[in-house]
Structure 1
Amino acid sequence: MEERSIVQRPDPDRPPRYPTSLGTSDTSTITLLGHDLAADLMGQVGFGELAFWMSAQRRPTPAEVRVFEAVLVALADHGFTPTAIAARLTYLSAPDSLQGALAAGLLGGGSRFLGVTEDCGRFLHEAITTHAERLPHSSDDSADPGGSGESGGSDERAWDEVALELVEAARKERRLIPGLGHPVHKVQDPRTPVLIALAEENGVKGPHLCLFEAIGRVHPTVLGRTLPLNGAGVCGAALADLGLPIALLRGYALLARAAGLLGQLAEEQRSPIGMDVYLSVDRNAVHVQPPND
C-alpha cells in the first residue's frame, strides 16, 4: 500500500498566513502591538514598559512599570560574575564580534547565576498553586496582577505554616530553597527590602512575595542558621506577582543582564582586564597527573 505523505502541500490559490500580535510593516508604517510605532510609541513608551507589554501581551500600569523596571535595574550587573568574565574573555579572543561576547555572557545564565530568578518564581508559584486553599487571598491575587495588593500578608501565620512545610521538605530531600542565601551578602541582600517596599508602595505585592518573606522568617527554625533572601529570588517573586509568565522569568533576568554585559564590554574596550585574567590563569596553571594514572 502506498504511504500517504503527512506533509501538507501549500495551496497555490491560498497564500500562507503567519499571525502575530507583535510587529508588522508595510511601505510606509511599522505597527507594533496594534499601534503605530513611530506615531504612538516612540518617545512615549519606555523600553521597560514595552518589554513588559510585548511579553505579557497587555499594557502594564504605571505601578507595574515601576516595579518591573526596578527588577531590571536590580539584575543588570553584579560585578565580575562568571557571565561578565565570559563576555570579557570572549571579547578578548574575538574583538571583531561584539555580539559573540554579549551572547557568551548571556549563555552563562543558569541555575547558579541569573537562573535563580526563574527557579524562585517557579518554586513559589507551584507552592501557592498547591496550597491555594490554605493561603489568604492567594487565588484572588494571582488572578488579578497589579490589583489592590491585598495579599493577606497581615495573616503571617498562614504564610508561615506553608513556608515551614516547604523548608522542612527541602531539608529532608536535601534540596536548596531557591532565593535563599548569597555568596557575598551573608547578612542581607540590599536589593531585597527595597524591592519588597516598592511592590507594597505600588499596590502590586502579592502572594509570591508574601510566601518569600515567610520563608525568610521561618527557615532559621529548620536550618539552625539565618540566610538572607537574595536579590535574584525577590526579583522572581516580584515578577510572578506582576502576573508575568513563569516560563519567561529567566528571560527578564537575561534582558536586564544584557544591559549590564554591554556595560562590561564597553569598559573592557576602555580599560581592558581580559588579558590579565587570561595570563593569570595561564601563567599559574600547574600540571597534575590524571586521577586514573
Structure 2
Amino acid sequence: MKCKTAVSHLTDDDLVIRGEKLSSLVAEASFTDAVFLILSGRKPAAKESRLFASILTSIIDHGTGTASALTSRFVASTGNALNASVAAGVLALGEYHGGAIETAMRQLADVKDAKAFVAEALKEKRRIMGFGHKVYKDEDPRVTQLYGIAEEVGYESPYLTLARDIERELAVQKGKKLVLNIDGFIAAALLGMGFPPEVGKGVFIIGRVPGLVAHAVEERQREKPVRRLDEADIEYDGK
C-alpha cells in the first residue's frame, strides 16, 4: 500500500515531523509547540506559543456535568477499558459541545462587517456559533483571561477584534447580551494563527482528552460499577 504525507516520515535514525527531527523537538520544544507544528506545518512564534498553550489549558475540563465527561464516566462504570471510556467521551463532542469551533471559524472567515453580519443572521434566524453560554451570562472568565494573555504578549489578530465587534452588535441588535464564549475566542485565535477550520474540533479534542482521562480513571477508582439514572429523575409521558 502506498501513501503520500507531509506530516511525518521515518528515517534510518529518527522521525521527521513537518521537516523537524523528533529528537530535536524532544530536546527543545514544549508539547504544545509540537502540537502547533504537527497541525500547522510550522513552529509557532513566541506570542503564538504562549497563547496556544493557554488555549489548550482553558479547555482541559469544564466540570463533571458536561456531556463528554458524563459519557466517559458512564462507559467507564460498566467496566470498559480506559481507551474505550475516553473514546466514548470524544464521540460525545458535537455541534453544541466542542464542535462549535469549526463552524465558528467558517463563519468568522466570511465576515466583512460585524453589523451587517449580525443583522443578516438575526433576520434569517441563523445561529451565530461561538456566542452565548448556558452558565456564563455576563462574561466567560476563560475568554477574559485569554484576551488578557493576548494583550500581555502583544498578540494581535483582526479576528479577535471582529469577535468582540460581533459580541457588541449582538447586544445592540438583539437587545440581549450573548457573551463571546471559549469556542468563539478559540475560533478567532486559530484563524489568526493560520489554522484551517477543519482543525478546530481537533484542537478541542487535544485539549479535552486529559480531562476525560481523569474522569474515567476516577470513576473506576471511586465509584461503584454501573451508573444508572435514578427513576425519580425520569418522567414517563408515554401511553
Q: TM-score, normalised by structure 2?
A: 0.90
Other-structure match for 1:153: none
Root mean square deviation, CA, Å: 2.1
Question: How far apart, in 2, do the equivalents of 1:208 and 1:171 lie?
Answer: 21
Other-structure match for 1:221: 172
**CA separation of 1:266/1:250 partners in 2, compared to 1, >3 Å: closer, same or farther?**
same
**CA separation of 1:244/1:203 partners in 2, compared to 1, >3 Å: closer, same or farther?**
farther
SS in 1 for 2:237: coil
Other-structure match for 1:191: 142
Other-structure match for 2:223: 272
**CA separation of 1:210/1:286 partners in 2, compared to 1, >3 Å: closer, same or farther?**
closer
**AA paired with 1:261?**
L
> 1:1-293 residue pairs with structure 2 within 5 A?
18-26=3-11, 28-38=13-23, 40-79=24-63, 80-95=65-80, 97-127=81-111, 131=112, 162-272=113-223, 275=226, 277-280=227-230, 282=231, 284-290=233-239
Deviations 1:192-243 (A, max 9, x none): 1221222233333211111101012222221111221111211111111111
Structure 1 ranges of 4+ moved more than 4 A: none
**CA separation of 1:98/1:222 partners in 2, compared to 1, >3 Å: closer, same or farther?**
same
Contact 1:117 1:236 in 2 (8 A): yes
Deviations 1:121-162 (A, max 9, x none): 2211111xxx3xxxxxxxxxxxxxxxxxxxxxxxxxxxxxx2
Contact 1:199 1:238 in 2 (8 A): no
Q: What's the offset of the Cα at 1:253?
A: 0.8
Tell me how many residue pairs correspond in the alignment: 238
Q: What's the offset of the Cα at 1:185?
A: 0.6
Where structure 1 has 5 or more consecutive residues not aligned to the other structure, the ranges are 1-15, 132-161
Q: What's the offset of the Cα at 1:284?
A: 4.4
**Percent of aligned pairs with the same residue?**
29
Greater shift after overlay, 72-81 or 27-36?
27-36
**CA separation of 1:274/1:184 partners in 2, compared to 1, >3 Å: closer, same or farther?**
farther
Specify which structure has the bigger relative contact order, considering alpha-carbon pairs within 8 angstroms and separated by 6 or more residues: 2
Question: How far apart, in 2, do the equivalents of 1:43 and 1:266 lie?
Answer: 30
**CA separation of 1:35/1:163 partners in 2, compared to 1, >3 Å: closer, same or farther?**
closer
SS in 1 for 2:28: coil
Question: How far apart, in 1, do the equivalents of 2:57 and 2:134 lie?
Answer: 20
Question: How far apart, in 1, do the equivalents of 2:169 and 2:108 lie?
Answer: 15
Q: What's the offset of the Cα at 1:261?
A: 0.8
**AA paired with 2:238?**
Q
Contact 1:83 1:108 in 2 (8 A): yes
**CA separation of 1:279/1:63 partners in 2, compared to 1, >3 Å: closer, same or farther?**
same
Contact 2:18 2:42 in 1 (8 A): no
Question: How far apart, in 2, do the equivalents of 1:169 and 1:48 lie?
Answer: 38
Q: What's the offset of the Cα at 1:119?
A: 1.9
